[in-house]
Structure 1
């Protein structure tokens, strides 16, 4: 009997090869927070070692609070977006106002020019 596996036109791999990719995520805020926690723990160890958990909790709370309240870039972007929406809304309102005011005049002009 002839083994046709030797005579294939295209070579196929014998086994599936796995691509093992471990994604990496870099969070600068988390790294800064961990650095502050380590520094606070070293300072606490020099002073007697009490309250490691409370220091970590306090630093974490400060970091989260400053992230939410102190993001001036986000606030500025939201302000610009809101201002843009208000300006577009005002332009649309003015357009509708002029359309409503002068619709009869435009209609009469068209009728006059077409001879109706």
Structure 2
């Protein structure tokens, strides 16, 4: 009746294959450069996208003054928005809060 079936499951050891390898950073860098070059040289849409993206990245990273100007501009916009919100909040509290307290009484 129980023939080949067992009541308890016996754990099985884990099997893995280990292939020792040597890490060569120069070879890895060369393979990465070759992979990016072959991707850039493709004639399909993905190749065109990667060429455009790499051009944008290289231009963006090359001109640090442009990046600093953009950061400064965005920080000024944030400061301007915060100041406007503070002034608006101050006006709302000073002008409309007394009227609202009179209305609720």
Output the TM-score relative to the length of structure 1. 0.36
Which has the higher relative contact order, 1 or 2, with Cα contacts under 8 A spaced 6 or more apart? 1
Output the TM-score relative to the length of structure 2. 0.39
Larger Rg: 1
